[in-house]
Amino acid sequence: MLYCVSLFVVSIDMALYEFYGKTCPHCIEMMPIVDKLIGEGIPIEKFEVWDDKDNAAKMEEANKNHCPGVPFFVNTKSDQWICGSTNEATLRDWAAGKPIEH
């Protein structure tokens, strides 16, 4: 038997998401920081949304009207999100589930 369910409902281990556009200048600015955190073992899953309709639908589902564009970061465990580019310290706090000021 096969069940198809939403990624955002059943995912327990993967709770950190980045939604980005391939040529978005703010997304490109964030790439080295995100990749550094991933290299350190922080499990951020990246979704390109400009050229992938399925990923765009995932962003719409996760967005809840928080962010009109990319990059958009969502921590599903803490319900913390970041809209736009930010610094490394803030991204680390977001990944750790610490409160983020908007």
- Give me the tens of pLDDT residue by residue for the chain, a chain 102 residues long: 443 434 434 344 458 999 999 999 999 999 999 999 999 999 999 999 999 999 999 999 999 888 999 999 999 999 999 999 999 999 999 999 999 887
Number of C-alpha atoms within 13 angstroms, CB side, residue 11?
Answer: 15
Residue 6 included in any domain: no
CATH code for the domain of 89: 3.40.30.10
Q: Beta 44-48 vs 16-20: how paired, if at all? A: parallel
pLDDT of residue 101: 83
Residue 92 included in any domain: yes
Structurally, the chain folds into a number of domains equal to 1
* Pick from 95, 90, 52, 93: nearest CA to 76: 95
Structural domain including 53 reads 15-96
Q: How far apart are CA 15 and CA 69, in angstroms?
A: 20
Task: Give pTM, 2 decimals.
Answer: 0.84
Residue 4 included in any domain: no
pLDDT of residue 14: 53
